[in-house]
Amino acid sequence: MNLGIWANWYNLPEQGRDEYLAWLQEAYIPRILARPGVKSAAHYGSINGAPQQRKHLRPTPDRTVPNGDRYILLFEAETPHAFADPMPSRYHDAMPAADRKMLAMRLAGRSNVFTVEAQVLGPEAHGNPNLPFSPAIQMGSFNAGSWQDEDELGDWYAQWRLPCCAKLPGCIRVRKLVSISGWAKHSVLYEFASVEARNSNYVDHEKNHPEMDQWTEQVVNKLVHAPGSPNVATRLWPATA
């Protein structure tokens, strides 16, 4: 069975942030890692002003979709159903009052439970498929413009984007995700050795392939992104060396 990824995007207030982060690292993350089948975790902080490959992405017009995106908390499990017994909202509701108080500090939060549809390893993985979450990520979460666009989206990932990333300097791994819970049907998790490696190698990686760059433009312009997507972020926990 395919791996599962539970992704959480949210903001935090200034007041109480340090207390929340200590609780997250010392109490919450260990509790989730103790659930059967859960393998690893990482907490990221989004970076403002990171250069983007595409400058005119289409955000969702749905104002009911929470717009938190300053922090991204990821868990990996042996299957997505490791997060389904119970599902995250019910798991949180059953937590002690003190923990629920800390969870309430998350502002404009949203989450998805994904299954890994496809994965490629980049040069920095050195052939190891079992690496922990990387020091830097880019994570997009989105829906196709319409159901008629789904086939082309699948073709593009399989025939162009994923094979490109398998050769991209600085890339550790890319995972294409599909959702079993949450607003976004699709996500892609790019993992890099550093933000600098991402900025240097990923942003302009199609410039020598104009026909494929045109295909990317055609596909990407149809997508409808979650607020803030795609996020470029650096790992806060575990701390990078």
- Segment 194-236, tens digit of pLDDT: 999 999 999 999 988 999 999 999 999 999 999 999 999 999 9
What pLDDT was estimated at residue 69?
A: 98
Q: Are 197 and 232 in contact (CB under 8 A)?
A: no
CA–CA dist 179, 117 (Å, integer): 10
pLDDT at residue 53, rounded to an integer: 85
SS (H, E, C) the chain: CCCEEEEEEEECCCCCHHHHHHHHHHHHHHHHHCCCCEEEEEEEEECCCCCCCCCCCCECCCCCCCCCCCEEEEEEECCHHHHCCCCHHHHHHCCCHHHHHHHCCCEEEEEEEEEEEEEEECHHHCCCCCCCCCCEEEEEEEECCCHHHHHHHHHHHHHHHHHHHCCCCCEEEEEEEEEEECCCCEEEEEEECCHHHHHHHCCCCCCCCHHHHHHHHHHHCCCEECCCCCEEEEEEECCCC
On the CB side of 62, CA atoms within 13 Å amount to 11
CATH code where residue 11 lies:
3.30.70.100
What is the tens place of the pLDDT at every residue in 124-182? 999 999 999 999 999 999 999 999 999 999 999 999 999 999 999 999 999 999 999 99
Structural domain of residue 126, as residue ranges? 4-237
Rounded Cα–Cα distance for residues 2 and 209 (Å): 32
Number of domains in the chain: 1
